[in-house]
């Protein structure tokens, strides 16, 4: 009972401190039927009535697993028991992958969040006001850091997930997987197990099942579930500061040109490299919110500003083209 109260208060305090859900807010809760999302739903259901939260439960079938039908029924039953409306979406991610260079994981995430945003907008036409609650926890934060590290990501990737990004919120980010499992056990709450979580085909699973156990065993004196989130918090604050400085510069020196943007090389090359990279990243993401740009793409663009050859063009994902003409670099989207 003591653990239960401490756990619930910890999550509720995090929601309050981070201003994730305010009285009267509408919330779409993404529930897969697994332990993390079931725990999130159970907690929000405890507080929804007293805080006047308007909750909708959403399940998404990616067309990748036979267990999806069973999961959807399970989540629908949970929603019904709690008195919440239930919605379900689906997509054939295998077919979608045939027409893109994205990984299956990236495709699945893209279509899932598109569905969740649509449901949020239906709850509140001003979709940025309707929240989307997902069940990422502290272990996920640590995994995300190592995935970014292995992929050679910049400061943005290494700074991990935020408690809120736009209308996306992560109420469980302050607790661990072990905490969640202990809470579910103490409350005798049932959940489903995704068989693909044990597969080594996906990078996140490799990090979870191989890398992290090795680090915990080899370096038992370091509790990476405590030390890494602290470091991620520091990186995030520095990342946010750099982002603000970059945006101030962009307001003065990044111009709008036809269906894109233009940056003069003289002003740009006088900046520190870290700011140059951030400005390029921001400009690319304005043209393509899908954010399918790697640190290599950013560096290619940065070198374009240094290139003495005029008329050189870079072809990037999502139909983005970057071209240097004399002392200016133009960013445009062709499709």
Domain edges within the chain:
2-218, 258-333
Rounded distance between C-alpha atoms, residue 15 and residue 285, angstroms: 29
pLDDT-based confidence at residue 291 (cuts at 50, 70, 90) = low
Region 62-79: mean pLDDT is 91
Banded pLDDT at 231 (limits 50, 70, 90) = very high
pLDDT score, position 106: 79
Residue 131 dihedral angles phi and psi, to the nearest 5°: -85, 155
Q: What is the CATH topology of the domain spanning 258-333?
A: 3.30.465
pLDDT at 179: 96
DSSP code of residue 170 = -
Average pLDDT value for residue range 76-98 = 90
pLDDT on residue 153: 81
Question: pLDDT confidence of 335, banded at 50, 70, 90?
Answer: low
For residue 304, what pLDDT is reported?
Answer: 92
- Over 70: is that where the pLDDT of 309 sits? yes
- The pTM (predicted TM-score) of the whole model is 0.84
Inform me whether the pLDDT recorded for 289 exceeds 70: no
CATH code, 2-218: 3.40.50.620
Q: Is residue 38 predicted with pLDDT exceeding 90?
A: yes
What is the average per-residue pLDDT within 10-33?
A: 96
Mean pLDDT value across residues 128-156: 90
Coil vs helix vs strand at 104: helix
- Bridge-partner residues for 168, per DSSP? 132, 165
Percentage of the residues of the chain whose pLDDT score is greater than 70: 95
Quick: pLDDT tens for 170-184.
999 999 999 999 999
Decide: 332 and 318 in contact? Cβ < 8 Å.
Answer: no
Confidence of residue 201 (pLDDT cuts 50, 70, 90): low
Q: Using alpha carbons only, give the angle 283, 288, 291 rounded to the nearest 5 degrees.
A: 90
For the chain, the average pLDDT equals: 90
Average pLDDT rounded to a whole number, residues 48-67: 92
Among 40-44, 102-106, 317-321, the range scoring the smallest mean pLDDT is 102-106
Nearest to 232 by CA among 95, 331, 139: 139
- 2-218 against 258-333: fold identical: no
Average pLDDT rounded to a whole number, residues 47-66: 92
Task: State the DSSP H helix or E strand holding residue 88, giving kind and residue range, or none if neither.
Answer: strand 86-90
User: Which residue's structure tokens are 């408690």?
Assistant: 163
DSSP 190-201: -----GGGG-SS
Average pLDDT over residues 117-129: 80
pLDDT band at 200 (very low <50, low <70, confident <90, very high): low
List, as one string, the DSSP characters of 246-293: HHHHHHHHEEEETTEEEEEHHHHHTS-HHHHHHHHHHHHHHH-TT---
């Amino acid at each position: 009972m003591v653990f239960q109260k401490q756990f619930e208060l910890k999550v509720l305090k995090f929601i309050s401190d981070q201003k994730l859900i305010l009285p009267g807010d509408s919330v779409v809760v993404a529930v897969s039927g697994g332990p993390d999302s079931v725990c999130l739903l159970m907690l929000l259901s405890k507080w929804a009535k007293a805080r006047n939260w308007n909750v909708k439960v959403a399940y998404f079938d990616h067309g990748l697993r036979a267990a999806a039908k069973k999961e959807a029924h399970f989540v629908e039953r949970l929603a019904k028991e709690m008195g919440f409306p239930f919605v379900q979406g689906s997509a054939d991610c295998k077919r979608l992958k045939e027409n893109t260079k994205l990984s299956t994981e990236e495709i699945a995430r893209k279509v899932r969040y598109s569905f969740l945003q649509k449901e949020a907008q239906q709850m509140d036409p001003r979709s940025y006001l309707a929240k989307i609650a997902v069940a990422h926890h502290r272990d996920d934060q640590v995994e995300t850091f190592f995935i970014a590290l292995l992929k050679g990501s910049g400061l943005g990737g290494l700074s991990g997930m935020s408690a809120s990004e736009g209308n996306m919120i992560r109420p469980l980010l302050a607790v661990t997987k072990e905490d969640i499992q202990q809470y579910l056990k103490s409350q005798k709450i049932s959940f489903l197990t995704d068989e693909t979580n044990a597969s080594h085909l996906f990078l996140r699973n490799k990090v979870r099942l191989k890398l992290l156990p090795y680090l915990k065993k080899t370096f038992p004196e370091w509790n990476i579930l405590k030390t890494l989130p602290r470091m991620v918090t520091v990186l995030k604050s520095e990342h946010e500061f750099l982002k603000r400085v970059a945006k101030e510069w962009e307001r003065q020196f990044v111009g709008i040109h036809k269906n894109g943007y233009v940056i003069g090389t003289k002003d740009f090359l006088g900046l520190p490299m870290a700011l140059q990279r951030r400005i390029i990243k921001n400009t690319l993401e304005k043209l393509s919110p899908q954010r399918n740009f790697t640190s290599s793409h950013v560096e290619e663009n940065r070198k374009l500003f240094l290139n003495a050859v005029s008329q050189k063009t870079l072809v990037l994902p999502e139909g983005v083209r970057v071209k240097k003409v004399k002392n200016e670099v133009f960013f445009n989207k062709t499709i």
